[in-house]
Amino acid sequence: MIYYVLFMYIRSYALALSTPSEKIFLKAISDLAYCNPFTPRRLECERLALGERYVAGPAIWSNRPDDEGERENIHRLIDRGEPIAERMRNKLIEGAKPLRDELSLYEDLVLYLLYDRYRLKLDEYACKTDEAGGRRSKRVSCYASFAKEYEYYLAPAEWPTKQIDEPSHVFALFYQVRRAFNHIFNCIIGGSMPSAKLRSEVWQSVFTHNMRRYQRTLYKKMGDITTLVTGPSGTGKELVARAVGLSRYVSFDPKTQMFTEDDADSFHPLNLSALSPTLIESELFGHKRGAFTGALDNHAGWLQTCGPTGTVFLDEIGELSPLIQVKLLRVLQERTYQGLGDTMTKHFTGKIIAATNRDLIKEIRAGRFREDFYYRLCSDMIKTPTLHSQITDSPGELHNLILFLVKRMTGEQDVEQLADSVETWISRSLKPDYHWPGNIRELEQCVWNILIRNEYHPLGPLSTDAGEVDPLSVMMSAMNRIEMSADELLGTYCTLTYARLGSYEETARSLKLDRRTVRKKIDQKLLGQLNTQRDALHKTQLVQYP
């Protein structure tokens, strides 16, 4: 009896697809194939799969100017995985009876290997444009060989519990993964933990936290989910929106060997703060001829132009008037809208991403932002980190960011020398704890200023910590004055707003007043005090040296 049991035990492993040590590798590869590549989980899977052959590298995967290319672990994983996949395929052909879950592990290994083989070809396709109008060449020449290899590995297996995905769907997912990775890796820079967390959150916004479930069903539903990007000005909210919007799933037609839509022209940004309410409605919903003064022709808005895999990006969503909030609320709830002057109901089939630097909770409490509209925006939220938080987390991050910006601005030549000169100027001339209120946008302009004039004069934060007048304190002090009139209060508020925005037009738009009224109400004495304190702040931000 004991010999029979031993015989059956040996026979089961002889017929199994993998050895015990290979199964550890396969499980690690299976997790690696579906994990978020910008999380520590990726490193854990690589370490488990490679064991002693694992090569330790940076804990945070970021686009560094000194990055010499791919990490060695990827090549080692492929080198080990390819012969295992070949042996498992041969065993299937010979009639091996897989143990529990082995077919799924084999499938995940095959997908991991195929993705690596075709990722560069998909990158090449994504960069191709035709001569006509910058649109990508439509036919994907590498699909035929991909489908053949997919069939080669997966056709020999008998799938008792589920059918494997169609190769066209897998190919479309591969293309989406490549686009998403490139947009996130190349556009969201920084080696600090806040930057790493941001990249991870953007990946989740595209694929959710469960990529297996996304692969099965959710890839068809992500356009129904609105993404809200919040964070201070200059922190890259539009870059985040582009990374999400340009990484959507596009189906592939195996008969024509073409993607069903061109993703290169699928992102439609609209800065709401730069347009009047009428123009916002026109650009969003479209209008019929004669709908308002100057509407000489019919106009299709972005909601109509945007296709099923497209994205409309609404920047500065906190600037929207309550009337337009109501109209957009209907779009988010029912996916329907009407153009200006039009009675026909149209359907919106794309995705909406919104961004704001305002605290929407405060705006709701102040009655300027609808609560029901907010709850239609917040199903998927991403917050961009400040430059100060990145530098605080990783002090060496400022050098990496300067190096990246100089390389992008000037090209490959003398990058290190130019970056060192910029960093030297900053370390000598700005306070060590300078907060960079303008964030990455300010750092970029700082680099340009130093490269051109070898100097930079920061505006600095408008706060009591910096020694400048705090607008709220001024208003509270003014209201506590005896016999203060409403006219004086309005004049003080107009002056403070003008001091921050710097133009009568912007002040009038922000306060919803006539430009002439703003000009008349400005308190020149208070304005002079504010300007004097701002100039003093500039001097305190700069360290005087010979």
Q: Dump pLDDT digits (tens) for 66-117.
A: 554 457 899 999 999 999 999 999 998 888 877 768 889 999 999 999 999 9
Average pLDDT, stretch 121-149?
A: 79
> pLDDT by residue (tens digit) across 488-518?
888 888 888 888 777 888 788 888 888 888 8
Which of these, 122, 178, 112, lies nearest to 150 by C-alpha position? 112
Highest mean pLDDT among 162-166, 216-220, 299-303, 525-529: 216-220
Instruction: Please count the CA atoms within 13 angstroms of the CA of 438 that sit on its side-chain side.
Output: 11
Dist. CA 345–CA 273, nearest whole Å: 27
Lowest mean pLDDT among 69-73, 275-279, 313-317, 459-463: 459-463
Confidence of residue 131 (pLDDT cuts 50, 70, 90): very low
- Which SS3 state, helix, strand or coil, does residue 237 take? helix
CA atoms within 13 A on the CB side of 252: 23
pLDDT of residue 512: 85
Pairing state between β 336-337 and 380-383: unpaired
**Sorting pLDDT into bands at 50, 70 and 90, what band is 534?**
low
Distance CA 109, CA 28 (A): 10
Contacts of residue 390, defined as CB under 8 A and 6 or more positions apart, other chains included, come to: 190, 192, 194, 195, 397, 401
Q: Cα(386)–Cα(440) distance, rounded to whole angstroms?
A: 8
Summarize pLDDT for 413-452 with one digit per residue, the tens. Answer: 788 888 999 999 999 988 888 889 999 999 999 999 999 9
Determine the number of helices (DSSP H) and then strands (DSSP E) in the chain.
Answer: 24, 9
Cα 400 to Cα 412: distance, rounded to the nearest angstrom: 15
Cross-strand pairs, 382 = 229
When pLDDT is cut at 50, 70 and 90, the band that residue 11 belongs to is very low
pLDDT (0 to 100) of residue 449: 93
CA dist 273 to 276, 321, 356, Å? 8, 11, 10
User: What is the C-alpha to C-alpha distance for residues 119 and 78, in angstroms, rounded to an integer?
Assistant: 13
Q: According to the model, what pLDDT value does residue 384 have?
A: 96
Q: What is the pLDDT of residue 76?
A: 95
Q: Say which CATH topology domain 237-383 has.
A: Rossmann fold (3.40.50)
Predicted pLDDT at 195:
94
Higher pLDDT, 132 or 389: 389
Strands across the sheet with 351-356, in order?
Answer: 267-271, 311-315, 351-356, 227-230, 380-383
pLDDT for the residue 479: 53
Residue ranges of domains in the chain: 15-187, 237-383, 387-453, 464-541
Collapsing DSSP to helix, strand or coil, 252 comes out as strand
Contacts of 398 (CB under 8 A, 6+ apart): 391, 423, 426
pLDDT in tens, 140-190: 999 999 999 999 999 887 765 556 789 999 999 999 999 999 999 988 988
Q: Which pLDDT score is estimated for 118?
A: 96
- Classify 267 as helix, strand or coil: strand
Tell me the percentage of the chain whose pLDDT exceeds 70. Answer: 84
pLDDT of residue 543: 43
Q: Is 149 exposed, middle or buried (0-12, 13-18, 19+ CB in 10 A)?
A: middle
pTM: 0.80
What's the pLDDT score for residue 6? 44
pLDDT in tens, 261-312: 888 788 999 998 888 888 888 889 888 876 676 667 788 889 999 999 999 9
Q: How far apart are CA 244 and CA 248, in angstroms?
A: 7
Where is average pLDDT lowest: 46-50, 197-201, 260-264, 311-315?
260-264
351 vs 18, more confident: 351
Strands 336-337 and 346-347: antiparallel
Confidence band (pLDDT; 50, 70, 90) for 241? Answer: very high
